[in-house]
Amino acid sequence: MPLSWFACANCGFWQRHFAPPDCPVCVDVRNDLPEDGWCFLPEPDVARTHVGEGREVASGLWAFTTTPALGLAGTGWLIVRPGGNIAFEAAPYYSDAMLAQIEGLGGIRFLSASHVHGYGALFQLQRRFDPAIVAIQKEDLRMTKAFRVTLPFDDHYELAPGYTLHQVGGHYDGQACLHDAPGGRLFCGDMFKLDQDANGRSTAISSHTAFHKDIPLTHAELRRYRDVTAPLAFDAVLTPFEFAPEVDSGVALAALDEGLARTPGVKRLPL
C-alpha cells in the first residue's frame, strides 16, 4: 500500500504511513486509548467530511477551526504581518477554502507549534506553503514524522523580529511557547489550561502534565515555566484551544506561584 496521510479518529494525530499500527499520542500516558480500538481516517475521507473557517479574533490575528470536531479539536493561529505571516499550532484539518483564505491573507512564511497536541494538520500547511520555515524544539522531533522540520531549536529562537520561541518543557519535554512582543501575547501551548464558559470567557486556570488524568507538574517544572515566563510582557495567552484575554502576565505568574507554594497537584484556580 502506498504512503499516505492518516488521522487518528481518537486524537487527530496525523501520520504518513501505509497502515499505522497505533497512535503514539494515544499510547502516551497523557491520552486515553480509544474505547473501541484504533480507527485511522485516510486523508480523502477527512477531506470529504470536514469543513472549517478562519475568523479574525483580534487585529491581524486569525483563528482557524475544523467542523465537525476532529481529534482534540484545536485551533490554528495565524499572525498576519508585513514581514511574513506566522502560523502557530494548526487546525485538525484545512479544507481547500481555508487554504485559499490563508493564501488570500498572504500565505505563511513561518510555521511552528508548541508540542504535539498543537500539530494538527501542520503537514498540510507545509505542503501548500512550501518553502515555509518549520521550527520545532528538538526534544519533540520524534513526533514530527508527518511533516519536515527545517529549523530545530534549542533553548530559544527568534523566529522573526519580536517573535521568540522559548522551550518550557513540563507537559512535554520539547514544549515551547511563542512570545509575540508586538501583539503583547503569549502563545503558551499547554503550559496553561483554561476552563471557559459558553461565551468563551475564562473561568479557571490550571497547569498539568496530563489534564484528563490530573497528573500534576513537579515543582522544578513549574519553576521552569515561571523562569521563562517572568521576563515576558503579555496581556493575553493563547493555548492550542483557547484565546484568553483575561490572562495577562500577572495572572499567569500568580497561578504558577500558587502551584509552587503547595504540594504538587492539579488545581483549577477561579479567575
Binding site for Zn ion (CB under 5 A): 8, 10-11, 13, 23, 25-26, 117, 190
Tell me the closest approach of the beta carbon of residue 165 to Zn ion, in angstroms: 16
Tell me the closest approach of the beta carbon of residue 171 to Zn ion, in angstroms: 5
Tell me the closest approach of the beta carbon of residue 104 to Zn ion, in angstroms: 30
Tell me the closest approach of the beta carbon of residue 207 to Zn ion, in angstroms: 11
Question: Considering beta carbons, is residue 75 or 85 the nearer one to Zn ion?
Answer: 75
Other Cβ atoms closer than 10 A to 124: 23
Question: Considering beta carbons, is residue 13 or 234 the nearer one to Zn ion?
Answer: 13
Of 4, 93, 9, 91, nearest in space to 22 by CA: 9
Question: Considering beta carbons, is residue 10 or 167 the nearer one to Zn ion?
Answer: 10
CA atoms within 13 A on the CB side of 17: 17
Q: Quote the cell numbers at residue 257.
A: 506561584
Burial label for 155, CB within 10 Å (0-12, 13-18, 19+), is: exposed
Question: Considering beta carbons, is residue 46 or 99 the nearer one to Zn ion?
Answer: 46
Question: Considering beta carbons, is residue 99 or 118 the nearer one to Zn ion?
Answer: 118
3-class secondary-structure state, position 41: strand
Where would I find the H helices in the chain? 24-27, 43-49, 96-104, 122-128, 219-229, 249-260
Per-residue buried b or exposed e for 45-61, using 16+ beta carbons within 10 Å of the residue's own CB: ebeeebebebeeeeeeb
Cα–Cα distance between 138 and 171 in angstroms, integer? 15
Question: Considering beta carbons, is residue 34 or 107 the nearer one to Zn ion?
Answer: 34
Tell me the closest approach of the beta carbon of residue 18 to Zn ion, in angstroms: 18
Tell me the closest approach of the beta carbon of residue 161 to Zn ion, in angstroms: 28
Cα–Cα distance between 195 and 202 in angstroms, integer? 6
